[in-house]
Structure 1
């Protein structure tokens, strides 16, 4: 099961947990209310057959998928890529990841602009809304393999903070104010 907690503002070592002492954990309902991040637990051994992912892809319109492996052995320009992933940014589309192997951390900003760290392990599917400031890093195992999903052709462009004038950011802030009610 995914764990999420508030972080301090340290930027010194991206692979440390950097949580408040004692940690202030965030449950999944609260995480959604204060950030819009959605979470689903899938079985990494049966997700291809059990229909849960297929239903989710159909409901959300995901039509393109690929796989990424982040490790020193598998990712070209490993250190540069990790720095890029850890730079605070937003996207114009949702960021959807299903962890197949390994583990890592997604950090997202809450409604008060504080960092929440979300630990992901195999079977965790996380949906980060478009327009939210976030970042990603590996944990000390330095390995994750994940599927990525997109609506239409993938848009890979990160927009580093500040990007507050972008329409996706304005729409995200409006949805946040409205509690993500449709």
Structure 2
């Protein structure tokens, strides 16, 4: 079964028999692109002619291509490895040339969101986000990968040392998923304009370090 362009993205079921299945929840729960943006993910449909402009927007200077199929040596083990929850220290920028599959990312509430991808799809994942990838039952995908400098494809597994990476903490702070140590300390100094700013409503303050409301 290939991915359905009319049905994406969505929250995944916790019961997975085959990672290449759609694995939807019952009832089916869709998620919109605005919700994806809350964890720094961008998902667009673009023509390949637009890639140079997109690469410039994201300051991506280099690229390579990857093709995975049943003909790839060690295919089954390869997709099992891709499906382990992990993060990278660098942003991921992918354009799907052909084939199809699924990128899974963690929501702000730590649920799995499944993003079906196929030819013409463009996906940006920020550094530090936990994610995984699998082909679907077409068992084939070809993608262009973009990177800012030399690629660092080291995967930091969540079960190992992923949470220890500074990029993980930066991701959580940037997306408002945790509060910084400074945020906690300035609660006693709420009148200091160097560390807080008064919001337009005149009743709430925001931490200048992590851009979150002060409780």
TM-score by length of 1: 0.89
Matches within 5 A, 1:162-181: 162=159, 163-177=162-176
Greater relative CO, 1 or 2 (CA 8 Å, sep 6+): 1
Correspondence for 2:183: none
Q: Kindly state the Cα deviation for residue 59 of structure 1 after the two structures are TM-superposed.
A: 2.1
What is the DSSP-based 3-state SS (H/G/I as helix, E as strand, rest coil) of the residue aligned with 2:44?
A: strand
From 56, 59, 80, the equivalent of 1:58 is 56
Q: How does 1:89-168 map to 2 (within 5 A)?
A: 89-162=86-159, 163-168=162-167
CA RMSD of aligned residues (A): 1.7
How many residues are aligned here?
A: 172
Number of the residue aligned with 2:199: none
SS in 2 for 1:87: coil
- In 1, Cα distance between equivalents of 2:68 and 2:13: 25
Flag the structure with larger Rg. Answer: 2
SS of the equivalent of 1:79 reads helix
Q: Which one of the candidate residues 18, 32, 37 is aligned to 1:13?
A: 18
- Which residue is 2:65 aligned to? 67
1:124-166 per-position Cα deviation (integer Å, ceiling 9, x unaligned): 0001111011000011111111101111011111111141121
**Over 4 Å off, 4+ runs:** none
- Partner residue in 2 for 1:88: 85
Structure 1 residue 36 displacement after superposition? 1.3
Say whether residues 1:38 and 2:36 are aligned partners.
no
TM-score computed with the length of structure 2 as normaliser: 0.76
Deviations 1:55-75 (A, max 9, x none): 2211221111111111011x2
Aligned residue in 2 for 1:27: 32
Q: For each residue in 1:64-123, what CA deviation from the matched residue of structure 2 results, as whole angstroms up to 9, or x when unmatched?
A: 1111111011x2221111011000000000111100111100000011110000000111
Q: CA deviation at 1:10?
A: 2.3
